[in-house]
């Protein structure tokens, strides 16, 4: 199914990406071509086939992912904030929400 300009605008909105008119003109045909390519999967009979969720091997699935619930050292507030573009008073500061 072809992707329209309106589709691309909506997808960009959902993905929190601002795109320019120029990008729209480039991405539109490219994404349509890719979507058309992946639609070849429609030719595959997948009735009664379970989807493969995740990538784990059988051994990986048998591995207990949990660890002991114990307190351990962590980065701490100062280090965790050290790479923030705008940290203030021990918090991440962002522009106004409303």
Partner 1 sequence: MNNPSQIESLKIRIAAGTDSARAVVERSVNAAEQLNETLNAFLDIGRNASLARANSVGTHGGLLAGVPIAIKDNICVRGMQTSCGSNILGNYQPPYNATVVERLLNEGAVIIGKTNCDEFAMGSSNENSAFGAVKNPWDIHRVPGGSSGGSAAAVAAGIVPVALGSDTGGSVRQPASLCGVVGLKPTYGRNSRYGLVAFASSLDQVGIFGTTAADVATVLRVIAGRDEHDSTTADVPVPDYANEIRAPIAGARLGFPRALYGEGLDDEVRESVQNVVEVYRQLGAEIVEVDLPHAQYAIAVYYIIATAEASSNLARFDGVRYGFRAEEAPELRQMYRKTRDEGFGPEVKRRIMLGTYVLSAGYYDAYYRKAQQVRTLIKNDFRNAFAECDAIITPTAPTTAFAIGEKVDDPLAMYLNDIYTVTANLAGVPGINVPCGLSSERLPIGFQLLGPYWSEPVLLRLSHAYQEARPFTERPPVFAQ
In the stretch 27-66, what mask flags binding to partner 1 with x, by CB under 8 A?
x--xx-xxx-xxxxxx-x-x--xxxxxxxxxxxx-xxxx-
Q: Residue 89 CB, nearest distance to partner 1 (Å)?
A: 15
Which H or E run contains 34?
helix 21-38
Long-range pairs of 52-57 with CB within 8 A, sequence gap ≥ 24: none
In contact, 36 and 52? CB cutoff 8 Å: no
Tokens 């929400």 belong to 97
3-class DSSP state of 21: helix
Q: Which position among 21, 69, 70, 83 is part of the footprint of partner 1 (CB under 8 A)? A: 83
- Contact residues toward partner 1 (CB under 8 A) are 3, 7-8, 11-12, 14-20, 23, 26-27, 30-31, 33-35, 37-42, 44, 46, 49-60, 62-65, 67, 75, 79-80, 82-86, 92, 94-97
């Amino acid at each position: 199914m072809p992707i329209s300009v309106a589709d691309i605008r909506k997808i960009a909105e959902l993905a929190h990406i601002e795109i320019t008119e120029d990008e729209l003109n480039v991405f539109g045909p490219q994404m349509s071509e890719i979507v058309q390519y992946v639609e070849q999967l429609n030719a595959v009979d997948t009735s009664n086939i379970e989807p493969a969720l995740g990538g784990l091997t059988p051994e990986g699935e048998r591995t207990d992912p949990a660890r002991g619930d114990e307190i351990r050292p962590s980065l701490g507030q100062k280090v965790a904030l050290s790479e923030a573009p705008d940290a203030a008073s021990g918090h991440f500061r962002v522009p106004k929400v409303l």
